[in-house]
Amino acid sequence: MERIPILKLGEFLLVSIQVDMHDQLAISLQDDLTAKIVATSAKGVLIDISALDIVDSFIGRMLGNIAGMSRILDAETVVVGMQPSVAITLVELGLSLPGIRTAFNIDRGMDLLRDSVAERQENQRVLNEPD
């Protein structure tokens, strides 16, 4: 059975979707990704959907779910490289994915993740500091 590869990139995970998503694939991705986040204690997840031309409401919801699960597991999700047609479809379906952060390409997504991780560490430090 085909699977979507999940690559470890420092403290982040990179998921690059290069094939047409179908429902079973999305479900297995969800399983794999959550397992991998726990195994690697990743701080962020980058999902690259620049090769994705078609989404339906199920895949849209799945993206939202994956982001929600990652957040619970203490990893920020950034969806990068969405095609205009996909963006229009998602909005028309009423799925504007409010919980997900987005970026134009992998590069900017990476910057976004780094910033947010740095910010989180800063907050952590401030909290831990005995004043």
Partner 1 sequence: MFVFSLKQPLFARIRNEFPDDAQRLADETWRATLLIDRLGLETTTAFIKSREEIIRRQQQELLEISTPVVRLWEGILALPLIGTLDSSRMQIVMQNLLEAIVSQSATIAIIDITGVPTVDTLAAQHLLKTVAAARLMGADCIISGIRPQIAQTIIHLGVDLTAVITKATLADAFQIALRRLQNKTVTLKNTESV
Q: What is the Cα–Cα distance from 127 to 124, expressed in whole angstroms? A: 5
Q: Does the protein bind partner 1 through residue 84 (CB under 8 A)?
A: yes
Q: Does 125 bind partner 1 (CB under 8 A)?
A: no
80 binds partner 1 (CB under 8 A): yes
61 binds partner 1 (CB under 8 A): no
**Distance, C-alpha 87 to centroid of its chain:** 16
**Strands 12-16 and 44-48, sheet pairing:** parallel
Would you say 35 or 51 has its CB closer to partner 1? 51
Nearest CB to partner 1, comparing residues 13 and 100: 100
- How far is 37 from 129, CA to CA, in rounded Å? 28
| 63: CB partners within 8 A, 6+ apart | 47, 49, 79, 97, 100
What whole-number distance in Å separates Cα of residue 61 and Cα of residue 80? 16
Candidate ranges 16-24, 30-38, 66-74, 102-110; the one touching partner 1 (CB under 8 A): 102-110
Q: Does 9 bind partner 1 (CB under 8 A)?
A: no
Residue 9 or 38 having the CB closest to partner 1 = 9
Cβ proximity to partner 1: between 24 and 121 the closer is: 121
**Nearest-5° angle of CA 89, CA 102, CA 16?**
85
Binding site for partner 1 (CB under 8 A): 79-80, 82-84, 86-88, 90-92, 96-97, 102-105, 108-109, 111, 114-115
